[in-house]
Structures are given as structure tokens and as C-alpha cells.
Structure 1
Amino acid sequence: MNPLYALEGLNFFMADVQAGIGPFLGVFLQAQGWHTAAIGTVMTLGGIAGMLATSPAGALVDATAHKRGIIVIAGVMTTLASLVLWVSHSFAMVAASQIFTAVTGAALGPAIAGVTLGMVRDKGFDRQFGRNQVFNHAGNVVGAALSGWLGWRYGFGAVFALTGVFGVLTIISTLLIRRDAIDHDSARGLGSVATDASGHEHATGFRVLLTCRPLLLLAASLAMFHLGNAAMLPLYSLAVVAAHQGDPSAFTAQTIVVAQLVMVVAACFANRLIQRIGYWGVILITFLALPLRGLVAATFITAWGVWPVQALDGIGAGLQSVAVPALVVRLLQGTGRVNVGQGIVMTVQGVGAALSPALGGVLAQHFGYASAFLVLGAVSTGSLALWLLFATALKKACGVLRDIANDATLTT
């Protein structure tokens, strides 16, 4: 098999594994008698654990030649952590499951980025990673649709069973990628740097990550974006189900399917759009979509409201899923720290994503769902303000391929 086909299959099946039971967690726990604040708290605990794990996971991906092994182990452990929820619904067990799912799942993002970069090198990364995301979002569509139908037909137990099936297929897809198909120097961003006197390529220190101002601005902007964004999908599902506007499993599946279908389209066109208006412009579009999404969610808490609410999510998340990792590769090419850079960006944006469910849950419980959506949308405008305030420096960094062999400071 062409290893790129196996990579795309991995991205398809991994979609259902990486998030565990994902957005179904909220309605599943609600059916067990949990309140929104408690649901938000366990989601936040998982978010914090994932946030702390992503940078070390990225460093591990840069350092090891066993990237396929990382994906296999993470896939197995993430699947098991999700399945344990069917056995126990206690706060301690659910919290432990979310933490374990987040920690093991944190390795999957940098590992996939590293494997992709090692297979197609930096020149082919944007196109291939865009294809990865198309398959990933398509996997989310199929997984959500099957979960919704199985949950409606057979109960939540079928959703957990499907997660196990996708976990097995993730492992098989990973093993179909030949070991020699991955260039591990290219996988960490060293493919085109000059060698030292001994003839060996070398990486710069971790200091480069802290002196790369555009990378830090990108991470901070994404943190504010995800503070507003992360809680919207589970909260919107809870709001509509609480208003008796839909079946829990079927409606949650619908919210995912609508967003992921839009993400498939967005990911298909992301690379073309990047070439046309640049990374800065594409990411600006994603920041503009979220405040509008919060306003629409607050106004239309109905079964049909899922279409505009999740379509806006699809535009923002679909474009970001391609543009952000590709931009990190561009900023850090030549440092040998590309995957730990991916991890640092995920860590910082994870701060916002981790706090979002707790913030949204408390707002919804004390002030109502509509107020929660408005506040979450308003918070996210901070990312828009930061992106516009440093527009000149960011546009320059986003538009120039940076080679640390020639410019080790990255202080633009």
C-alpha cells in the first residue's frame, strides 16, 4: 500500500479515537443525572491535563524515531480510557478517564504532524496536511453519524463499542505505514538545514521557541479563541436537549455532522485560500466567525439552529486545522523543534480550551444558556484584537519561509 494512503486512513479512523466519546460525553453524563457545572468541571480537568501533556509530547516526537509506536500506544490507551466510562459514572472515574484520554490523546496531534512532515518534507506539507484534515473531518462525520444512529437505535453502549472499533482500525492504519517511509530529520524540521563540520545536522535549542515572537502571538490568539469556542458545541447540545427540542444522541450527532461536513469543504479549500490571501488572512477569517457564532447560538436555541451555529464552527475550525500546523512548520523550519513547537501552540491554546467548559457551564447554570453563548462569543474577540494589533509583524512572518540556518534569532 502507498504509505500516504495509510496515513490518510489513519487520519480518518483517528478522528473518533482522539476525542474519546467527545461531544457525546455531555449528554451521556446529563442522562446519568449530572449538572452542567459538574460536566464542565470534568471536561476542564481533561483539558488541563491535555494542555500540560502536549509540549512534552511534541518534544518526544522530535526526539524519537518510533513515531508509529507513539501513535499505536496513544490510540490503545485513549480507547481504553473512553470505554471505562461505560463501567462507572462516578466523578472520580469520569475525571480520571478524561485526564487519561487527554494525556494520551495529546501525543496524537504532534505525532501525525511529524509523520506527515517526515513523509512529504516541508515543500509538500501544506498540501498533504490539508488532505489529512479532509480525511480527519470525514472520519468525524462518519463516526458521529454512526454514533448518533447507534445511540438512538441501541443506546449509549453502542457509541462506546464504535469507539473501540475505530481504535482497532487506527492501529492497523498506523502499522501499514512503512518504517522507511519516514525521514526523521525532516520530521522535526531539519530536512533542509546545512550540516555542521562533522557532517551531521544539528538542531537549535529550545530558546528559539521563546524568541519566536510570531509563534507566541499565534499561541496567545488561539488561547483566547478556544476560551470562547471549546464549550459551545457541548453547551449547545445541552441547551437544545434541555429545551426538549431533540433526542440526545441523534441531536448531538447532528451538531457534529453539520460542523464536520463544513470542515471537510473548508479543509479542501484551505491550501488554495492560503496561497491566495496568506496564513494571516485565513486565520483572521476564523477569528471573525466565532463572535457571530455566539450571537446566533444565543438567539436560536432550536433544533434547526444547529445549521448556522455549526456551519460557523466548521468554517473556523476547518481552516484552522490546516493553517495553524502549516504556519508552525513555516515559522520553525530549520530549528529541529517543529513538533515541540506544535505542542507548545497546542498547550497555550489548550489553556483557553480547558477553561472554556467550566466557564460556560457556570454561566449556563446561573444565567442561562443564551447568556453563556453571548459571553463566550464576546471573550473570543480578544483573539481578533491581538491578531489585528500586531498585523504588520504577523503578516511579514506569515509570508516569509524562515530558515534558522540563516537567521537563528526569529525575532521578527
Structure 2
Amino acid sequence: MRYHAPLDWLNFSLADVRGGLGPYLGVFLLTRQHWDQATIGAVMTASGVIGLAIHTPVGAFIDATRFKRGIIVVGVVMLAISALAITRFPIFPVVAAANATMAIAGAIFGPAVAAITLGVLGQQGLAARLGRNAAFDHAGNVFIAVVAGFIGWWFSQSAVFYLVPVFAVVAVTAVLSIPARTIDYARARGLDTDRPDQPDRPSGWSVLVGCKPLLVFAACAALFHFANAPMLPMVGQKLALAHAGRETALMSACIIAAQAVMLPMALLVGAKADTWGRKPIFLAAFAILPVRGVLYTLSDNAFWLVGVQLLDGVGAGIFGALTPLILADLMRGTGRYNVSQGVVATAQGIGASLSNTVAGLIVVKAGYSAAFLTLAGVALVAFTVFLLGMPETGESGGNAPRAPLPGDAPVRRTTEAGQ
């Protein structure tokens, strides 16, 4: 495909923009601004609440708009401004606003890039391309972690945030190098333009609650992120408290360790999702998370903690690469692909935002080990729900499930009313 390279650079640079702000914020606030864990968790929760409110509307907007490139540009610029604001005014209102901005940008980037990919490529070869998207995203995360680790060690932790505007320029250049005319906007929202027998109008909003596998998947996503979201920040906090002066470098080591595994995992998912099926691969992601939570409690040694963080690469690598593909399976022909991503992102936001506060409180009251074990228990529940409740969505699964289309008898009246 002609536009593989721009998509590669787009995913790579967006990871750099996000990575230059998010992972280092908690450590910066803890060690340089002397915030406590509960206050940091409250800031994370506030941004999560904003994410809850906007993910689904943003997904609906991305479905409807023809300016998919433009909203990526706006999100990148917002993050660049936020990063600069944190370095100049590291006070609670500014940091909270910047973190909220990061939540808004997070609601934009994933669905918009997936929509552009689907609009340019279609279903043919989508699994491989989405896996490649995820691989370049992880490569960008490794790159920014190395650069940020060096910058933070050589200069200061605040200097890391100045990297965001630099990579914002690369991201804007990459997305604008994909001509708007190459994007099939009907296909980008999930309408099946390759099959003339499929409806040429989107399903009604009832499709989101009428698709049981979507609801199960959203619930599993919420549980997964409840268990996963606080783990890296808590590991970073443990390392920062035990190794003063090397906080940024050790956080970078944790990120690099995970991302180095995520990259090949994403490529593996892209290569094998159509032949192995989606469900067996996804079960591996859910299975590794409780193991990781328990292992964090066994030692405070820096090498051990960074080594355990390698397991994050398995779970998160699979989750990131497979989620847009599973939703493309379920929403094919409905025209509600991006809003379904918003629904799942909202569920993820519920899990992640609540867990940051819960984990922070557990750390304050009972210590880090109690928090990790609690998260491991939630992860085990997530594995069980996915194993028992989620069907195979790929075509290799035989009668692969999908959401009802406008022409399907059970939902015809509802979807016509929804237009």
C-alpha cells in the first residue's frame, strides 16, 4: 500500500508525543513537586472521569466527520501546549488541566488512526496493518523512553516535557502526508462498501446494546484496565523512592522493557490473528496480568521489577493490537466502528480511573504489596469473564458474531428510527 510509510510515521510519532508526557508525570510530581500518591491518583482519576464523558461522543464524531486528519492535528497541538504548561506552572490546577487534555487527546488518537487505516485499506489485510500500527506505536514508545531517560538524566526531569512539541511536528507532518482523497469515509466508519448487498447507511444507536459480544468485551476491557493501569505508575514510584536521582532512567527502563516485548507481540498478532483466531491470543493477554501482579510483590530489587515489567509487553501488546480488529469484526457493516471504540474506551476509562484512586489509597493504608495483590485478583476475574463470555469474532471461528445491520429483521424498526 502506498501510504504504509505515512501510517508508520504517524503511529511512531504519536507514541512519542504521548510518551513524552504521560509516563513521567507521576514520577515528576512525586519526586520533584513532592505530591503524595493519593493526590497523584486523584489527578489521574479526574482525567479518567473526563475520558468517560467524551470517549463515546468523540467516537461518534470521528464516525461522522470527514476531517479525521484535522482532529489528530488538533489533539497533537493540545498535548504540546499541555507539556509546556506543566514545566512552567507545575501547580495542581495546571497539572490537572494538562492531564485532562491528555485524556481528550487519548480519546482522539486511537479511533482516528484506526478509522484512517480502515478507510484507506478496507478489511483486506486489516489484521496485518493494525498489527503494524501497534508495532510502530511500541517502537515510538521505546524510542521516546530512551531519549527521555537520557534527557532526564543529563538535564532534568522537566526537560523531558520539551520533547513533546518536537515530536508533535513530526506527527502533524505524517498525518497530513496522507491525502484526504485516499480515505473512503464510509468504509472508515465501518460500512462494508466492498459488498454491494450490505446496507449503505449506518445502523441505529441501538446496535451498541444489541451486540452482546460488544458488551462482554467492554466489561472485560474495564476489568483489564482496572488491574493494569496502576501497575506501571506504582512500580515507578517504588523505584523512585528507593533510587533517588535515577527516577527517570529507571522509569525509562520499565517502559523500554515492556515496549520491547510489545513490538514483536503486535507483529505476531497481525500475522496470526486470522489463522489462530482472536480469542486464544486475547486469553494469553488476560492470563499474564494476574501473574505479573503477584510477581511484583516478591522483591523490591530494581532488576527484578524491571524484569517483571517485561510481562506487561505480552498483555498490553496483544490488547492494543487486537482491540481495533475485534471491534472491526463486530461492527462490520454497521457504520458505528469508531463509536464502538469510544464505548470500549469509556469502559477502559472507568476501570483505569477508578483503579488509580483505589490503588493509591491501598498503598497509603496497606502498602504496595497489598495493592498489587488486589489488582491481580481483579485480573483473574477479567480472565474468567473473557474465557466464559466472549465468542471468537474472526471468520476462522465459523459463525462469527457481528452486530445487527439495518436490514436485519430484529432491529429494522429501531435502526430506521435511529436515523
Do structure 1's residue 14 and structure 2's residue 14 form an aligned pair? yes
In the aligned structure 2, how far is the partner of 1:409 from the partner of 1:228? 37
- Aligned 1:156-305 pairs, distance under 5 A: 156-190=157-191, 191-194=193-196, 201-244=200-243, 247-305=246-304
Report if aligned partners of 2:392, 2:401 keep a CA contact under 8 Å in 1. no
In the aligned structure 2, how far is the partner of 1:217 from the partner of 1:110? 20
| Matched residue type, 2:23 | P
| TM-score, normalised with respect to structure 2 | 0.92
In the aligned structure 2, how far is the partner of 1:289 from the partner of 1:181? 40
Report if aligned partners of 2:128, 2:267 keep a CA contact under 8 Å in 1. no
| Matched residue type, 2:235 | Y
Report if aligned partners of 1:78, 1:101 keep a CA contact under 8 Å in 2. yes
| Matched residue type, 1:341 | S
Range moving further from structure 2, 107-116 or 349-358:
349-358
Shift of 1:389: 2.5
Range moving further from structure 2, 237-246 or 149-158:
237-246
Q: Match of 2:359?
A: 360
Question: Relative to structure 1, is the Cα distance of residues 97 and 170 closer, same or farther in structure 2, using a 3 angstrom cutoff?
Answer: same
| Matched residue type, 1:181 | T
Q: How many residue pairs were aligned? A: 405
| Matched residue type, 1:18 | R
Question: Relative to structure 1, is the Cα distance of residues 254 and 381 closer, same or farther in structure 2, using a 3 angstrom cutoff?
Answer: same
Q: Match of 2:139?
A: 138
In the aligned structure 1, how far is the partner of 2:408 from the partner of 2:118? 21
In the aligned structure 2, how far is the partner of 1:355 from the partner of 1:368? 18
- Aligned 1:98-177 pairs, distance under 5 A: 98-177=99-178
In the aligned structure 1, how far is the partner of 2:306 from the partner of 2:34? 28
CA RMSD of aligned residues (A): 2.0
| Matched residue type, 2:105 | T
Q: Match of 2:73?
A: 72
In the aligned structure 2, how far is the partner of 1:401 from the partner of 1:176? 36
Measured against aligned partners, the alpha-carbon deviations of 1:186-231 in whole angstroms (never above 9, x if no partner) come to: 10111235479xxx92111111111000011001011011101000
In the aligned structure 2, how far is the partner of 1:209 from the partner of 1:19? 31
In the aligned structure 2, how far is the partner of 1:119 from the partner of 1:150? 37
Q: Match of 2:327?
A: 328
In the aligned structure 1, how far is the partner of 2:339 from the partner of 2:275? 28
Report if aligned partners of 1:214, 1:397 keep a CA contact under 8 Å in 2. no
Shift of 1:83: 2.0
In the aligned structure 1, how far is the partner of 2:220 from the partner of 2:208? 16
| Matched residue type, 1:395 | E
In the aligned structure 1, how far is the partner of 2:409 from the partner of 2:187? 18
| TM-score, normalised with respect to structure 1 | 0.94
Question: Relative to structure 1, is the Cα distance of residues 397 and 181 closer, same or farther in structure 2, using a 3 angstrom cutoff?
Answer: closer
Report if aligned partners of 1:8, 1:132 keep a CA contact under 8 Å in 2. yes
| Matched residue type, 1:24 | Y
Shift of 1:46: 1.2
Question: Relative to structure 1, is the Cα distance of residues 409 and 23 closer, same or farther in structure 2, using a 3 angstrom cutoff?
Answer: farther
In the aligned structure 2, how far is the partner of 1:345 from the partner of 1:53? 12
Q: Match of 1:384?
A: 383
| Matched residue type, 1:338 | Y
Identity %: 39
Range moving further from structure 2, 238-247 or 95-104:
238-247
In the aligned structure 2, how far is the partner of 1:409 from the partner of 1:266? 39
In the aligned structure 2, how far is the partner of 1:271 from the partner of 1:373? 31
Range moving further from structure 2, 21-30 or 243-252:
243-252
**Structure 1 unaligned regions, length at least 5:** none
Range moving further from structure 2, 186-195 or 124-133:
186-195
In the aligned structure 2, how far is the partner of 1:255 from the partner of 1:203? 43
| Matched residue type, 2:331 | L
In the aligned structure 1, how far is the partner of 2:72 from the partner of 2:409? 31
| Matched residue type, 1:326 | L
| Matched residue type, 1:25 | L
Question: Relative to structure 1, is the Cα distance of residues 409 and 215 closer, same or farther in structure 2, using a 3 angstrom cutoff?
Answer: farther
Shift of 1:158: 2.2
Shift of 1:322: 1.1
Do structure 1's residue 85 and structure 2's residue 86 form an aligned pair? yes
Do structure 1's residue 24 and structure 2's residue 24 form an aligned pair? yes
